[in-house]
Amino acid sequence: MTHRSAPASFNMADVWEMAADAVPGREALVVGDRRLTYAQLEARANRLADALARRGVGPGDHVALYLENCPEYIEAMLAAWKLRAVTINVNHRYVADELRYLLDNSDAMAVLTQPSLLATVEAVAGDLPGVRFTLVTGDDYEAALAAASADRPLVAGRGDDDRYIIYTGGTTGLPKGVVWRHADAFHACMGGGDPMRMQGPVERPDELPDRMTTQPVCYLPLAPMMHAAAQWTSFSWLFAGSKVVLVPGSLDADAVWRAIGAERVNLLTVVGDAVARPVLDAWDRAQERGEPYDASSLFSFSNGGAPMSTTTRERVFATLPHVMVTDGFGSSEAGTQGAMRVAAGDRPAGPSLVRFDQPAKPTIVVDGDGAEVVPGSGVVGQVLAGGRLPLGYHNDPDKTAATFVERDGERWLITGDMATVGADGAIELLGRGSVAINTGGEKVFPEEVEGTLKAHPSVYDCLVVGVPDERWGSAVTAVVQPVAGATPELADLATHCKESMASYKAPKRLVVVDAIVRSPSGKADY
C-alpha cells in the first residue's frame, strides 16, 4: 500500500481522496454484478462532479438523491463533496406529496434519480421552480460522465466547515434536515478514522494514513443508502480502504446470504428485527432444503437504527455462534453515541434494552429538574448528548432552539431517549419519550413491551401504541403480525408479558394484522 500525503482537513472529499490515492487497485464497491476499484470510483466521482458543475452545481448547492441502492448513490455523494455541494437523502418510497415536501423543504436545486422513479419527479417538478434539472441513471447519466473530465475538480475553500445534511424522519413527525459540519460528521458519525471503534478517533488529519487497513475488510449494510446508518458505516469503511457491498433493490434475504458467501463479507449491519428476522428465516429455509449458505467469513453481526430484541439476538447466536453481536446507539442529530457488544454465552441485557458503559461521546441522563440521575437510583430521565454536534435543523430555527440547549456553558442535544443509570454507571435505554404511553398515570415505553412480545411463540413482529381509553387515559395496545399458522390471544400475550414486567405494561388490547408496515429503513411507524 502506498500512502499519499495526509488530507488537508477532515473534509470528506479530502479524506476520500487520500484513500483513493493510497489503494487505487483495491475493490471499493460491489453492487450486484457491478464492481468498482478505488481508482475507478474516484474517476467516476470526478466525472460526475464535472458534469454537475457544468449544470451549475457549486458550493452550498443542494442535490437530492432519490435513488435505491446503486453505485451512483456513492458516486453522487463523493462528487458533491468535491464541489462543496450538499446531497439530500430522499426516501425512495416517497410518493408525490412526500417528495414535493422534501424537495421544497431542503431547497434542492437538482435531483438525481432512476428511471423507475422519474415519473414521480416529473409529477412534482412544475411545483418546484427551484429544481433546475434532473439527472437520470442509465444512458443519460453515463453519457454525462463520458462527456466530462476525470480530473479532480479544483474548488477553492474546501475544508472542515463544509456542510453535510442528513434528513431524518424518525418515528413521528415530518422529515427534518440535520445540518453538520464535515469535520464534526466525520468524527461523530463516520468513525473519525476508527470504523471498529477500537482505537479511538484521530486528532489530526495527518494521522489518517496510518489508520488505513493493511488487510481490507468487507462490509455489507442491510439498509438503504438514504438511511443515516448506511451512509455513515459505508463511508467509515471506504475511508479506511476496505470494500463495501450493497444489495440492490428491496430486501432479498437469500441474495444477502449469497453476497456474504461470494464476497466473503466480514461485517453485516441490520436495522432491527424487521430486517434481522427475514434474513435469519432465509438461513433456516436454506438449511431445511439442504443447501446451507456459507457465512464462515462473518465475524460481526451489527444492529442500528431500530431495536433488536433479545429473542432475535439469541437466534443470531444459534445461527452464527462465532459472531459478535453489536447494538449501536445514536441518531441523525447525535451521531454515534455508544454500542453494546455481546458474544455468544453473554447474559442478554433485557428484552429490548441497550446498555452501554463506554459512550462514544459525552452522554448524560438528567431528571425532570435537570439534575444528573444518580447511578443505581432507578430514576428515569432524558438522555443528553454532548461533544461534536450538528449546527441544527435546516430551515427550522425553532426546532433547533428546542433541541439543542446550553448547560453549564456547553452545548447539548436533547436526544428524546429515556434511560436510567445502573449502579455501575452504565446507561440503560428504555425508549423514545415522544412515543411513551401514559396509562393510568404510569409511563410505558413501547420498545420494552415489543421486545417482550416478540419472545412469544405466536408473535413474528409487533408494534405497541397507546389508544385513547376512558379509564386508563391510554390503553397499551399490541399490533401483532403472527407467526404463520398461529392465532395470538390477548390473555395469553398479557400473561406472557406479566411474567417479566409490571402488569400495567401488559397489553390491554390486541390488533392482529397480516404484516407490520415499517419505513424502508426498518424503523417503526407509530
96-108 confidence digits (pLDDT tens): 998 999 999 999 9
22-54 confidence digits (pLDDT tens): 999 999 999 999 999 999 999 999 999 999 999
Q: Is 481 exposed, middle or buried (0-12, 13-18, 19+ CB in 10 A)?
A: middle
- pTM for this prediction: 0.87
User: What pLDDT shows up at residue 474?
Assistant: 86
Residue 170's pLDDT band, with cuts at 50, 70 and 90, is low
CA distance 177 to 179: 6
Averaged confidence pLDDT in the chain: 91
Distances (CA, A) of 342 to 315, 321, 359, 458: 13, 11, 16, 26
Residues with Cβ within 8 Å of residue 19, at least 6 apart in sequence: 38, 212, 238, 239, 240, 241
Residue 351's pLDDT band, with cuts at 50, 70 and 90, is very low
User: What pLDDT shows up at residue 315?
Assistant: 92
In 359-410, alpha helices (H): 397-403
Structural element, H or E, at residue 342: strand 335-343
437-478 confidence digits (pLDDT tens): 888 777 788 888 998 899 999 999 999 999 988 778 789 999
Residue 522's pLDDT band, with cuts at 50, 70 and 90, is low
Residue 5's pLDDT band, with cuts at 50, 70 and 90, is confident
CA distance 416 to 520: 22
Instruction: Name the nearest CA neighbour of 241 among 19, 25, 453, 459.
Output: 19
User: What pLDDT shows up at residue 453?
Assistant: 93
Structural element, H or E, at residue 339: strand 335-343
* Pair 240, 218: CB distance under 8 Å: no
Per-residue exposure over 448-477, b if at least 16 CB sit within 10 Å of its own CB, e if not? bbbbbbbbbebbbbbbbbbeeeeebebbbb
User: What pLDDT shows up at residue 384?
Assistant: 96
Sign of CA dihedral 223, 227, 233, 236: positive
* Chain mean position to CA 316: 20
Residues with Cβ within 8 Å of residue 203, at least 6 apart in sequence: none
Q: Is the pLDDT of residue 369 over 50?
A: yes
Q: In what order do the strands lie in the sheet with 62-66?
A: 86-89, 62-66, 108-113, 133-136
Structural element, H or E, at residue 28: strand 27-31
Q: Which triple of cell numbers denotes residue 68?
A: 435505491
Beta bridge partners of 220: 268
CA distance 80 to 158: 12
Q: Is 343 exposed, middle or buried (0-12, 13-18, 19+ CB in 10 A)?
A: exposed
Q: Is the pLDDT of residue 309 over 90?
A: no
Q: Is 44 exposed, middle or buried (0-12, 13-18, 19+ CB in 10 A)?
A: buried
Residue with cell 457465512: 295
HEC string for 227-270: CHHHHHHHHHHHCCCCEEEECCCCCCHHHHHHHHHHHCCCEEEE
255-304 confidence digits (pLDDT tens): 999 999 999 999 999 988 888 999 999 999 999 999 999 999 999 999 98
